[in-house]
Structure 1
Amino acid sequence: MEKLICPSMMCANFDCLKEEVETLDQAGSDIFHLDIMDGSFVPNFGMGLQDVACIRKLTSKLVDVHLMIQNPGEYVDLFADLGADIIYVHPEADLHPTRTLGKIRAAGKKAGLAINPGTSVETVRELLPLTDYLLVMTVNPGFAGQKYLEFVNRKIETLAAMKEEYGFQIMVDGAISPQKIVELSAMGVSGFVLGTSALFGKGEDYGTIIARLKQS
């Protein structure tokens, strides 16, 4: 199964964002992952609208936005108009997630569902028919540099057994190391959001790292 490499652009060097995007694009990245945080749903602030617009302009690859914000359904049209290809929302932050996922698809975008470590499969089962990409958080959302939460593996195994029935791809986000890519790929995970644990700040060029990760 092909591994989808998704650089977490919050970890990129914003002193030279244009060069970072172009280099990651040429290095074989599959999806550019953009974290949007409001300081309410998660205790941090993330990337801005100008960052989304800039990165969208610089690549023809898929761009996703991970809306770690309250009431994400109110902002679907905004991010769709900015050119996001995949829009992830958290059911924990949305009173009507089925409506929001339908709204994403109606806008011609791929519907992404992001679930926190403490969110069980049973609480989102009814949302799975509306989900194209299921992003399993393997750390508590909001900050880079956390430790991988091993108990989430059981949830990933459960979801992997359901993905054919519902037609979604499993993605993971949070402390994803090269070793975790090997382990989780074998469990049925398709895509990996990568930050400082596997991609950024490693002293190697992105092309070398991504090629090695895809072959692992």
Structure 2
Amino acid sequence: MSMLLCPSMMCANFRSLEHEVNALEEANVDIYHIDIMDGKFVPNFGMGLQDLEYIRQQTQKTVDVHLMIDNPSAYIDLFADKGADIIYFHPETDMHPTRTIDRIVGRGIKAGIALNPGTAIASAEPLLGMVDYVLVMTVNPGFAGQTYLTFVNDKIKALQAYKHEKGLNFTIVVDGAISEEKINELAHYGVEGFVLGTSTLFGKDEPYKAIINRLKNI
């Protein structure tokens, strides 16, 4: 099965980011996932522009940016200029989400929306035909190391059913406590992309290449 494996760079060892990126490149990951937080929408601060710039300079692979910030429309050009290939934002943080999607697409970037565990699919339905990716949060956003919220499985199944019913083409990606067992389970629900953090990839004794190779063979 083809899948997108996306290391969450917030979980990387920032004492040796060069080594981390080199090891992930050797492992042939698919997308570098960059979390940007403003301390308002979520109670934490994420990675900075310098981190995004550095990773962008070190890879030809896709780099996504997950904006967990208020008023994301004001920052689309900034992150586009820094080299993001995909920009996710949370529709509830934006007064005019369709305009923001248009702005992302207008910059030649793939547009994505992110759905928190408590965000209903119905609230995002008008946007689903406009985006390339839907990032389903399986923990409350903002911190690594949380417990997977199993009730979100029903949302994932409903999202896949809606996609099939309407003939839409967005890619479903999940983010939050994604273990190897969860990848195996969620792939059967139609999930194609997996953000990998401390549950699967980072902080393990096994080399990244060995982990990624095993996951790609699920």
| Equivalenced residues, count | 216
1:46 aligns with 2:36: no
1:118 aligns with 2:145: no
SS at match of 2:123: coil
- Report the alpha carbon displacement of residue 16 of structure 1 after superposing the two structures with TM: 0.8
- State the distance in 1 between where 2:22 and 2:160 align: 33
Residue identity matched to 2:202: F
- Within a 5 Å distance, the mapping from 1:82-101 to structure 2 comes to 82-101=82-101
- Report the alpha carbon displacement of residue 38 of structure 1 after superposing the two structures with TM: 0.2
User: 1:179: which partner in 2?
Assistant: 181
- State the distance in 1 between where 2:162 and 2:170 align: 9
SS at match of 2:83: coil
Residue identity matched to 1:38: D
Q: Deviations over 1:59-83 (max 9, x none)?
A: 0000000000000010000000000
Residue identity matched to 1:21: V
Structure 1 length-normalised TM: 0.98
The answer to whether the 8 Å contact 1:30/1:62 transfers is: yes
SS at match of 1:187: coil
User: 1:131: which partner in 2?
Assistant: 131
The root-mean-square deviation of aligned C-alpha atoms, in Å, is: 0.7
SS at match of 1:87: strand
- Report the alpha carbon displacement of residue 162 of structure 1 after superposing the two structures with TM: 2.6
- Within a 5 Å distance, the mapping from 1:17-36 to structure 2 comes to 17-36=17-36
SS at match of 2:54: helix
User: 1:189: which partner in 2?
Assistant: 191
Gaps of at least 5 residues in structure 1 are none
- Report the alpha carbon displacement of residue 163 of structure 1 after superposing the two structures with TM: 2.7
Residue identity matched to 1:181: I
Runs of 4+ in 1 over 4 A off after TM superposition: none
1:58 aligns with 2:58: yes
Gaps of at least 5 residues in structure 2 are none
Structure 2 length-normalised TM: 0.98
- State the distance in 2 between where 1:121 and 1:72 align: 20
- State the distance in 1 between where 2:84 and 2:18 align: 18
Percent of residue pairs identical: 63
